[in-house]
Amino acid sequence: MKLWDKGVEVNKNIETFTVGRDREMDLFLAPYDIMGTLAHIRMLESVGLLAADERVRLTQALQEMYHQAVSGEFRIEEDIEDVHSQVELMLTRRLGDIGKKVHSGRSRNDQVLVDIKLYLRAEIEEMVHLTEALFGRFRDASEQYKAVLMPGYTHLQVAMPSSFGLWFGAYAESLTDDMHVLQAAWRVTNQNPLGSAAGYGSSFPLDRTMTTRLLGFDDLNYNVVYAQMGRGKTEKIVAFAMASLAATLSRFAMDACLYMSQNFGFIVLPENLTTGSSIMPHKKNPDVFELIRGKCNRIQTIVSDITLMLTNLPSGYFRDMQLLKEILFPAFGDLKSCLHILISTVPEIKINTHILDDARYDCMFSVEAVNRLVLEGVPFRDAYRQVAQDIREGRFVPDKHLSHTHEGSIGRLCNEEIARKMEAAVRAFGFDKVHEAVAALVGA
C-alpha cells in the first residue's frame, strides 16, 4: 500500500531502493504517528470534517494501536511502504471508509515532521533523566573524595595540585552545560509542524493551535514553509546536543583509561568490570571506557553527517531527508547505553589515596611555594625565579598542606551551587505538561 498510489505499478527495483530502511526506522516512530493521528482527528471533528461517532470509533482503534506500538507489538507489513501507510491501512481494514478520512488536511511530509518531533522529544527527555542521574554519581564521588589530592596536568606534564573532588566535580558541572544545550534542542523540537501539509498549508480550515495543545507542544512552527524547512534542522540541533553530551562522556572515558594504566595508577575498577587478555594473564583492560570513548566519538560525527546531507538543499521537501532517520535514530541507543553504563560504573571506581607518596609529583607544589613567598612580601617574578632555582639545584622540598578557599577550588568545591544549576535546568523543560497532554490523548 502506498498513500500516493495512482494505479500505476512502480518498478520493483525503484520501489525497493526508495523505501530503503524506512520500515525498520519507522518502527521508532509508530507510537508517535498514532499519537499525531489522534490529535489530528480530534481537530478534524472540531472543524466539521469528521462526525462525532466517526471520531469516537477512530479514537478507540488508534488508542489500541498505540498501546500495541508501545509494547513492541506493532509491525509494518512487507508490502507496506512506511508507518503512515500501515496505520491508515489498519484503520481502513477495521473501520472501512472511516479509516480513509484521517489523511484529510495532512501530507506525509507533515506527518513525518510531527512524528519525528514527538520521537525526538521523548528521546531528549530520556537523555535528560539519565544525564541527571549521572550528574548525581559524579557529584557523590566528588564529595566522597574531595580530600584526596591528585596531580593536575597541562600538556600531559605534572602541573599543580588537583583532587579527585575537583576531577569528578568537573564532569558534574560539564553535564550542567550539556543540559543547557539539551534544553535548546528541546525548545526547537517542542514546536508543532502539524497542519503544514506538504509545506504549503491546506485549504481546509485546520485548527493548528488545537493540535498544538493536544500534543503538548509549547508552540507552533507557524510559517508552513519554515515548518518543512525545519526537517533536518531540528535533527541537526538535537545531534549537536547529543554531541555535546557525548564529548563529556568521551573525555571522562579517556581520563579513566589513562588513570587506570599502571603508568598512572590513580584509579582501579573491580576486576569483574574489566576484561582480560587471551595470552597475558595479568591484564585488566578498561574496555568499558574504551567503548564509551569510541561510541561517543562516533556520535560526535553525526552533526557533520547531517550537515552534509542538508548542504545546498533549497526550501521544500526532498527525499534525501529520509536518510536522516538512519543517521540519527540508532545513535540514541548508543548514547543512552553509555549513560547507563557510566551510572553503574562510576560508583565502583576505587581511588588510590597514596599518589603523592611518589616523589615524581613533588614539583606540582611549586606554585604553592611561589605563592607563599609572595604572601611574605616577595615580588611574584622574584619568587618564581627563586623556586625555579631551588628545583633546578635539587633543594626544593614541597609543603603539601594546601589552603584553597575561593569558589570552585580544592577547598571549596561548590557542589551545592552546581547542583542548583542542574536542578534549575531540569525544571525548565516542563515535562509534566507533555505527560498530561499525551496521557489524555492516548487514554493512559
- Catalytically annotated residues: 155, 277
Nearest C-alpha neighbor of 296 from the set 345, 235, 252, 243: 243
The whole-angstrom separation of Cα 413 and Cα 165 is: 7
Backbone angles phi, psi at 268, to 5 degrees: -140, 140
Instruction: Please tell me whether residue 220 adopts helix, strand or coil conformation.
Output: strand
Query: Which residues have CB under 8 Å from 390's CB, separation 6+?
Result: 369, 396
Nearest C-alpha neighbor of 50 from the set 59, 109, 444: 59
Side chain identity at residue 196, one-letter code? S
The whole-angstrom separation of Cα 238 and Cα 244 is: 10
Nearest C-alpha neighbor of 122 from the set 32, 245, 237: 32
The whole-angstrom separation of Cα 194 and Cα 212 is: 8
Taking the chain, what is the end-to-end CA distance rounded to the nearest angstrom?
30
| Residue with cell string 589552603 | 403
The whole-angstrom separation of Cα 97 and Cα 228 is: 29
Annotate 225-252 with DSSP letters as a single string. Answer: HHHHHHHHHHHHHHHHHHHHHHHHHHHH
Nearest C-alpha neighbor of 151 from the set 255, 237, 282: 255
Side chain identity at residue 231, one-letter code? R
